[in-house]
Amino acid sequence: MFFETHAHYDDERFDDDREELISSLFRDGNVEYIVNAGCDMRSSRFGLDMSKKWDNLYAAVGIHPHSADEMNDESYNELKRLSSDAKCVAIGEIGLDYHYDFCDREVQRKAFRRQLCLADETGLPVIIHSREAAAETFDMIKESNVRQGVIHSYSGHTQMALEYIEMGFFIGIGGMITFKNAKKGVEVVRNIPIESILIETDSPYLSPVPLRGRRNDSQNLRYIVDKISEIKQISPEKVEKITRDSALRLFGKKIIVA
């Protein structure tokens, strides 16, 4: 069964059918576990509350670089409190985004550093967002004490992926691997160990081919698994099992395995 390592079921696009959809994913969608990633204080609270409704739905709490100006002493203390919950498995998604620059870059850096410190203090892994800030993101992580996490929706080169893996991180692979222009991503998947890959949808975003433009959800992990299977020349069943086991190694500190 699939381990969905990154989704946003708190998003308003799921408001009309959230409970029905998530229940069906666990019942009929071949999905065993889901981690809902926080992007701001609202989604972090929502994700954690939502996790209480399903045994195998877990939450990550954190402030995305787009919302970095939310970071202050009050929000930090609340994130710390939320992170102690039994259903919180990670700090994230956190990082840097220099594509949109919705927040001042120094504000982003300060929020990122502070949340890396929170992960170090709590012992939780991180979920890292990095867009057009690859070198700086890498350097800031390397300067921290954090050595466990996943680089979400990885878009960098193979060598940096291998350096992240050497540090103790996993590489998150999502729907973009199915796109026609995914040559760099295909090269990364081909050249890193399958044991270092986690699968994710980033729902409701980044629907894989042949569903681009539609709302994404975790049942579409099968398209990502099939593409990784094709690239690595191993069976989809093996990809499914290895990525599940790897996700349990990363997030399993608080996950109850049946």
Read off the pLDDT of residues 94-137 as tens digits, 9 standing for 90 and up: 999 999 989 999 999 999 999 999 999 999 999 999 999 999 99
Q: What gap in Å lies between CA 178 and CA 114, rounded to an integer?
A: 35
pLDDT value, residue 258: 63
pLDDT value, residue 125: 98
- Burial of 123 per CB tally in 10 Å (0-12, 13-18, 19+): exposed
Domain boundaries, the chain: 2-251
pLDDT value, residue 82: 98
pLDDT value, residue 254: 79
pLDDT below 50 — which residues of the chain? none
Q: What gap in Å lies between CA 241 and CA 236, rounded to an integer?
A: 9
- Those residues with Cβ within 8 angstroms of residue 235's Cβ, 6 or more apart along the chain or in another chain: 229
For domain 2-251, give the fold.
Answer: TIM Barrel (3.20.20)
Q: What gap in Å lies between CA 187 and CA 86, rounded to an integer?
A: 37
Cα 54 from chain centre: 19
Kindly report whether the global pTM for this prediction surpasses the value 0.85.
yes
Whether the CB-CB separation of 156 and 141 falls below 8 Å is answered with no
Q: Please report, for residues 17, 82, 97, 133, the alpha-carbon distance to residue 101 in angstroms, rounded to integers and kept in the order given.
A: 32, 27, 6, 11
